[in-house]
């Protein structure tokens, strides 16, 4: 019977989260997997165990206050999935789903030990298995840390249960699973709570009097000692954070109660599912709190404590379940501030919901005389949860849907703005991207002054302005270069760029200065791009070298450096930089640039054997293939009159003039080559290719 029930629960859970199987690498997935050199080869196994979880690229190390996690087995699992599937995200999603099924089976087995009947345990396990908040852990690859850790903790709990009931193999399983748990997530420090509950179960689930509680605590002591030792070792060797944020006591208390309120609301109602609950914001220098959730958290905490105390003898399983839920929440409750961008995350409920599942099972058991009503109500709840989980899993299968939903729920979300800007930029919709960057700047200045995020979006805006500026608009490009130069000057108090009709200024002080310092490599690369466009290849090369010295794995430094070197005629250097990028991030990342460089090199070799008009055409072709439009135009511009007499060349020359920024010349040449009604559409098409027209 138990095997059949476990199989049914696993099957239902698999279907509920199945849409996520076909999702892409999303959000953190990109940094942790395809952009992580340690994942793309099993030869990097030493790095899995000697570096922190996010020590994957030099640009991320720029942020000194980042959280430092130690999760080597999770990184190892990514590497194995990469080896099995060649980087196909389906394999990673499948691993998440199968691991969750393992947790579901173990959760049911655990609830069977903690309760006395199949039906209560099955309903409690069903609540746990398909709770909508679990989509963030199951359907999002980066969420597997919670699944793996819970899987290992439940195995350790099973081992402890076997040991407590006299089975010799129990201690070996407990020890091995404990080690695995600590190598998957820091949340393994919660194991003492699970062991205490297992001891209560081994005592035949007695009422909770002082002797029983004492035995439970005694059983948990070895795991508690291990947890304390682990935390002390981490504090010495790899502290989670170099320093805790300084927050007033009143703000800290509100953070704590708001976190509890949101977790309880999510556990009971799974409301407004999102990956960015309670964004950490400030307004006029003061933290923004949600008064409703603060009050609800305080009331809920008191209510849960009162209910646990009242039921300690009549229904001790309810008391134990409430205590387990609250105990498993402690590390993520902001009792000690985590310093993350959000107060709570749905994936943090993955393990704590085991406590709620126990409460559900105990309540069903208590209401056995009303079995039909309970079963009908429970079935309805499970069905609603299944539908909501299915819908939420679909979000993770579509990146655009995911971020659109996040932006609808949280217009102030900077992550949602980052995605929208990147998507518009990727689609060459630069005007839209610039508008989005301005919107993001406004949100950052209003709600995130404490993080200095405004500097990031002003940087975005000016970079996009450079993309909207043709090579021949030299004064504008110089102004933009001056803006980035000011950002690199530690004594500068402001940076200004003239973008044609627009003017943007950033005042540099306080947290903005810290953020600008963290973006230094990005700024150096932006300057290198501009210097190359201005024809100063030697300066561009020095800037690329500076960027590489600070960030050896930065992909943009290699790509810009390769293009700059090729424009200067140094093709061996260009190939070397392409090879460096391919070695650290994979050939696909640099394939387009390598193709352009090799095509330009072919034109250069052909030019060495040519003369006259053919020579000029090949020289312009070489530069055009490297997107040096201004320089290519300068090669041919002196021969415009002759070119206009050759229809085969004139049309291409018109497009080159347009891309270089000589729109008037382009129109004049084009009018002699095509019917009048085709001129405007042709110019519009070229504008779309450059991203200047949408």
User: 211-244: per-residue pLDDT in tens?
Assistant: 999 999 999 999 999 999 999 999 899 887 655 5
SS3 161: helix
Helices within 238-352 (DSSP H only) = 249-269, 291-310, 316-329
Please, are residues 548 and 561 in contact by the beta-carbon 8 Å criterion? yes
The pLDDT of 288-295, averaged and rounded, is 96
pLDDT value of residue 553: 74
The pLDDT of 162-185, averaged and rounded, is 94
The pLDDT of 303-315, averaged and rounded, is 95
Percent of the chain, pLDDT > 90? 83
Give the global pTM. 0.93
Please, are residues 655 and 663 in contact by the beta-carbon 8 Å criterion? no
User: Would you list the domain boundaries of the chain?
Assistant: 2-367+395-400, 413-518, 636-694
588 — pLDDT class (breaks 50, 70, 90): confident
What are the pLDDT digits (tens) for 460-487? 999 999 999 999 999 999 999 999 999 9
Instruction: For residue 124, give both structure tokens.
Output: 């409690």
Cα angle 101-272-188, degrees, rounded to a multiple of 5: 40
Average pLDDT, the chain: 93
pLDDT value of residue 167: 83
Q: How far apart are CA 366 and CA 307, in angstroms?
A: 15
The pLDDT of 40-51, averaged and rounded, is 92
The pLDDT of 660-684, averaged and rounded, is 95
552 — pLDDT class (breaks 50, 70, 90): confident
What are the pLDDT digits (tens) for 310-354? 999 999 999 999 999 999 999 999 998 877 788 899 999 999 999
What are the pLDDT digits (tens) for 73-104? 999 999 999 999 999 999 999 999 999 999 99
Nearest Cα to Cα of residue 529 among 555, 560, 499: 560
Burial of 284 (0-12, 13-18, 19+ CB in 10 A): exposed
Q: How far apart are CA 70 and CA 240, in angstroms?
A: 9
Cα angle 512-518-521, degrees, rounded to a multiple of 5: 125
The answer, yes or no, to whether residue 164 has pLDDT greater than 60, is yes
64 — pLDDT class (breaks 50, 70, 90): very low
Chain length of the chain: 694
The answer, yes or no, to whether residue 272 has pLDDT greater than 90, is no
Return the DSSP state at 285. T
268 — phi, psi (to 5°)? -85, -45
Nearest Cα to Cα of residue 177 among 196, 199, 157, 192: 157
Q: How far apart are CA 253 and CA 265, in angstroms?
A: 18
Q: How far apart are CA 305 and CA 310, in angstroms?
A: 9
């Amino acid at each position: 019977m138990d095997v059949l029930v476990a199989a049914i629960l696993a099957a239902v859970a698999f279907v509920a989260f199945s849409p996520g199987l076909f999702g892409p690498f999303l959000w953190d997935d990109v940094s942790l997997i395809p952009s992580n050199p340690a994942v793309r080869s099993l030869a990097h196994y030493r790095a899995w165990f000697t570096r922190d979880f996010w020590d994957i690229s030099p640009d991320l190390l720029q942020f000194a206050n980042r959280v430092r996690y130690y999760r080597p087995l999770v990184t190892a699992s990514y590497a194995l999935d990469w080896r099995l599937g060649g980087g196909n995200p389906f394999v990673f999603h499948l691993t998440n789903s199968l691991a969750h099924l393992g947790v579901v089976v173990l959760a049911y087995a655990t609830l069977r030990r903690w309760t006395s009947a199949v039906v209560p345990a099955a309903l409690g396990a069903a609540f746990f298995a398909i709770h909508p908040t679990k989509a963030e852990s199951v359907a999002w690859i980066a969420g597997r840390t919670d699944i793996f850790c819970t899987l290992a903790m439940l195995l350790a709990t099973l081992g402890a249960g076997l040991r407590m009931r006299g089975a010799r193999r129990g201690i070996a399983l407990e020890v091995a699973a404990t080690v695995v748990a600590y190598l998957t997530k820091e949340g393994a420090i919660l194991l003492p709570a699970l062991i205490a509950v297992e001891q209560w179960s081994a005592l035949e689930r007695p009422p909770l009097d002082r002797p029983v509680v004492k035995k439970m605590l005694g059983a948990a002591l070895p795991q508690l000692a291990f947890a304390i030792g682990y935390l002390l070792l981490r504090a010495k060797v790899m502290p989670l954070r170099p320093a805790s944020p300084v927050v007033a006591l009143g703000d800290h208390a509100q953070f704590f109660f708001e976190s509890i309120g949101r977790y309880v609301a999510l556990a009971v109602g799974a409301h407004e599912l999102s990956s960015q609950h309670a964004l950490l914001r400030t307004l006029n220098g003061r933290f923004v709190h949600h008064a409703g959730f603060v009050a609800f958290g305080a009331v809920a905490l008191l209510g849960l404590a009162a209910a646990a105390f009242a039921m300690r003898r009549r229904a001790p399983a309810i008391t134990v379940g409430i205590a387990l839920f609250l105990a498993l929440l402690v590390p993520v409750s902001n009792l000690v501030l985590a310093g993350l961008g959000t107060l709570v995350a749905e994936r943090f409920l993955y393990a704590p919901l085991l406590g709620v599942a126990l409460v559900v099972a105990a309540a069903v058991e208590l209401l056995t005389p009303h079995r039909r009503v309970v079963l009908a109500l429970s079935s309805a709840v499970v069905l609603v949860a299944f539908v909501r989980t299915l819908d939420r899993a679909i979000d993770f299968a579509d990146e655009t849907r995911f971020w659109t939903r996040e932006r609808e729920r949280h217009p102030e979300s900077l992550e949602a703005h980052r995605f929208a800007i990147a998507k518009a930029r990727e689609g060459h919709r630069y005007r839209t991207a610039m508008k989005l960057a301005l919107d993001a700047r406004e949100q950052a200045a209003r709600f995130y002054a404490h993080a200095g995020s405004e500097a990031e979006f002003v940087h975005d805006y000016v970079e996009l302005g450079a993309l909207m500026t043709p090579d021949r608009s030299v004064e504008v490009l110089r102004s933009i270069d001056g803006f980035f130069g000011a950002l690199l000057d530690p004594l500068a108090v402001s940076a200004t760029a003239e973008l044609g009709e627009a003017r943007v200024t950033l005042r540099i002080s306080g947290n903005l200065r810290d953020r600008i310092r963290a973006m230094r490599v990005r700024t150096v690369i932006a300057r290198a791009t501009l210097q190359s466009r201005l024809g100063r290849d030697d300066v561009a090369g020095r800037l690329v070298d500076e960027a590489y010295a600070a960030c050896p794995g930065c992909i943009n430094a290699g790509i810009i450096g390769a293009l700059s070197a090729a424009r200067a005629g140094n093709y061996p250097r260009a190939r070397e930089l392409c090879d460096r990028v391919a070695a650290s991030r994979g050939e696909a990342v640099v394939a387009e640039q390598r193709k352009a460089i090799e095509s330009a090199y072919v034109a250069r070799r052909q030019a060495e054997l040519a003369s006259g008009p053919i020579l000029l055409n090949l020289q312009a072709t070489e530069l055009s293939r490297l997107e040096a439009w201004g320089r290519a135009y300068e090669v041919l511009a002196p021969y415009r009159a002759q070119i206009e007499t050759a229809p085969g060349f004139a049309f291409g020359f018109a497009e080159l003039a347009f891309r270089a920024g000589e729109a008037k010349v382009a129109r004049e040449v084009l009018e002699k080559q095509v019917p009048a009604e085709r001129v405007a559409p042709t110019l519009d098409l070229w504008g779309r290719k450059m991203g200047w027209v949408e």
